[in-house]
Chain A
Amino acid sequence: MAVNLFYFFIFPGLIFAAVTGALLSWFDRKISARVQFRKGPPLLQPFYDFFKLLLVKETILPRYGSTFIFILAPLLAVFGAAMAGVFILLPLFNINTGFRGDMLVIFYLLTLPSFSYIIGSLASGNPLAAVGGSREMKLIISYELTFILFIAAIIMKSGQHFDLRTVIETQQAGTPFIGSISGVLLFVVGVFCAQAKLAMVPFDMPEAEAELSEGIFIEYSGPPYAMIKLAKYIMLFILPAFIVALLMNGMRPGIGILWFVLKILGVVLLLVLIKNTNPRLKIKQASGFFFIWMNLLVVIAVVLTAFGL
Chain B
Amino acid sequence: MGFKDYCFRKSLWVFHFGGASCNNCDIEILDCLTPRHDLERFGILLVGSIRHADVLLVNGSINTRDKDRLIELYRQAPKPILVVAIGACGCTGGIFAESLTFAGPVDAIIPVDAYIPGCPPKPEAIIAGIVKLAGKK
A residues 223-274 near B (Cβ < 8 Å) are 225
Contact yes or no, A55 B78, CB < 8 A: no
Report the tally of A-B residue pairs with Cβ distances under 8 A. Answer: 85
Contact yes or no, B4 A55, CB < 8 A: yes
Contacts of A214 in B (CB 8 A): 47-49, 52
Partner of B43, one of A37, A49, A59: A49
Min CB distance A151 to B, Å, is: 35
Given contacts A33-B38, A56-B4, A222-B78, contact A45 B10 (CB under 8 A): yes
Contact yes or no, B7 A56, CB < 8 A: yes
Contacts of A57 in B (CB 8 A): 54, 78-80
Q: How far apart sit A44 and B3, CA to CA, in the bound complex (Å)?
A: 13
Contact yes or no, A225 B52, CB < 8 A: yes
Contact yes or no, A220 B7, CB < 8 A: no
What does the 1/0 interface line of B89-110 toward A look like (CB < 8 Å)?
0000000000000000000000
Contacts of B64 in A (CB 8 A): none
What does the 1/0 interface line of A157-178 toward B look like (CB < 8 Å)?
0000000000000000000000
Any chain B CB within 8 A of the CB of A187? no
Contact yes or no, B43 A41, CB < 8 A: yes
Q: How far apart sit A147 and B10, CA to CA, in the bound complex (Å)?
A: 38
Contact yes or no, A39 B80, CB < 8 A: no
Partner of A60, one of B47, B54, B78: B78
* Residues of chain B having any CB pair with chain A under 8 Å: 3-4, 6-8, 10-11, 35, 38, 40-41, 43, 47-49, 51-52, 54, 76, 78-80
* Residues of chain A having any CB pair with chain B under 8 Å: 29, 33, 36-42, 44-45, 47-49, 51-52, 55-60, 209-210, 212-214, 217-222, 225
The 4 closest A-B pairs by CB, nearest first: A213-B48, A221-B51, A221-B78, A209-B48
